[in-house]
Chains A and B, each alone.
Chain A
Amino acid sequence: MLTKKVKKRVSFLTIFLALTVLGVFSILKTLDRNLLYFKSPSDVKADQNISYTKKLRIGGMVKKDSLKIDSEDIEFVITDYKNEIFVSFKGTVPNLFLEGKGVVAEGILNDKGFFIADRILAKHDENYMPPELKDIIKDVK
């Protein structure tokens, strides 16, 4: 079955695939940081020439006991358990925006520790469970 022609096609396909994988890989590598949907507080801290005028997105967890909601502002701290950023926001938040849950804030960085958001997205984690179970876990904790 492996005639000369078949061998030729196999080698063509192998080279074709190897080259395209290499090509796609290098494209993804070049885009690298731009492919991130959001930066973590540690990324923000490490980035020397981060923009203070351009819109960007930062994401992480809403720090426990940091959420303050009054009539005008929603204020909270985004943390990745290493670094933190204080976020101030005016507007409505999605239902899943809660303390201890994932969040992505879109807006402008004021300085490295203060972020003014104009949009809040909630990030859902991969856990799915019925409400009764959640209570049980809470009791155990």
Chain B
Amino acid sequence: MFDVLNPSKIFTWIEKLIKFINSIFFILLLVALTFALIVSPPDYLQGDSVRIMYIHVPSSWIGLASFTCIALISVLIFIFKMKNLILIAKSIAPIGLVFTCLSIITGSIWGKPTWGTWWAWDARIVSMVVLGIFYILFILSNKFIEPESKATKISCIIAIFGFINIPIIKYSVEWWNTLHQPASIKIDGTSSIHSSMLMPLVFMLLVFLLYCALIFLMKYKTEIIRIKKKNLKRI
């Protein structure tokens, strides 16, 4: 059914894509960092610590988006038994975990000068940590549970269960009083970030997404090689 996902055929494509992304990634990163660190203005209140936002916000988005992808893939695996897809979910998970951690760490670095504390038992922050825990559970269950079919099943359930946390993270700042500020960029497209700051933010998001794609492809390649080495026929 999904011929594109056939590991042996996709192999050469991955190689090409990795080379392509590698060729443009560092240039784009330099441009985006120039915008984020030098060209963009400081904030009227926070001053230069606003620049942390250019890393914090895209990482949080990627953390949330990755888990949503994993959950959707898990539903497909669970219902239609498309076992090839677990390789994709497995390759996304570490990226999501790294960016979730990055989001929490940068948030806490930003929180010290602005809020006056590193950490608060605030609904948004705690639910974000819970997301990180779900990532870890997903990765560990894939690594340590034997046999593999059982690992796939359990990790899928974990992902689907963990997905409930995503809307909680998103709406935590609206449902409850939190120290964390509400979203600056709304789903309907309005934004309370000035355009001179929005531009570097979008640019950084783009660079982060490219980086994710790069890591994903490399990881996916290794997963395929691992399967081939095991010489499993079913894949």
Chain A residues at the B interface, C-beta cutoff of 8 Å: 1, 6, 9-10, 13, 16-17, 20-21, 24, 28, 35-40, 59, 93-98, 101, 104, 119-134
Contacts and interface: CB of A to CB of B under 8 A. Distances in A.
Contacts of B34: none
A125 B114 contact: no
B60 to A, nearest CB: 14
16 contacts: A13-B78, A20-B164, A28-B168, A36-B176, A93-B116, A95-B47, A119-B116, A119-B117, A122-B116, A123-B115, A125-B181, A127-B193, A128-B184, A128-B192, A128-B193, A132-B41
A120 B121 contact: no
A5 to B, nearest CB: 9
A6 B79 CA distance: 6
B194 interface: yes
A124 B114 contact: yes
A8 to B, nearest CB: 10
B80 A95 contact: no
The 5 closest A-B pairs by CB, nearest first: A94-B116, A130-B41, A134-B44, A129-B194, A126-B184
A22 to B, nearest CB: 10
Nearest to B80: A6
Given A36-B176, A37-B176, A128-B193, A122 B115 contact: yes
B122 A127 contact: no
Interface of B: 41-47, 50, 53, 75, 78-80, 113-117, 120-123, 157, 160-161, 164, 168, 176-179, 181-184, 192-194, 196-197
Contacts of B53: 128
A38 B123 CA distance: 11
Given A9-B79, A37-B176, A123-B179, A129 B44 contact: yes
Given A24-B164, A35-B123, A126-B181, 19 more contacts: A9-B78, A13-B160, A20-B161, A36-B177, A37-B178, A37-B179, A59-B177, A94-B116, A95-B46, A104-B179, A122-B114, A122-B116, A126-B183, A128-B50, A128-B53, A128-B197, A130-B196, A131-B43, A134-B44
Contacts of A124: 45-46, 114-115, 181
Contacts, number: 110
Interface of A, secondary structure class, is: mixed
Contacts of B184: 126-128
Contact of B79 (A13, A59, A97): A13
B82 to A, nearest CB: 11
Contacts of B43: 128-131
Nearest to A104: B179
Contacts of A101: 45
Given A130-B44, A133-B44, A17 B116 contact: no
Nearest to A134: B44
Contacts of B79: 6, 9-10, 13
Nearest to B172: A35
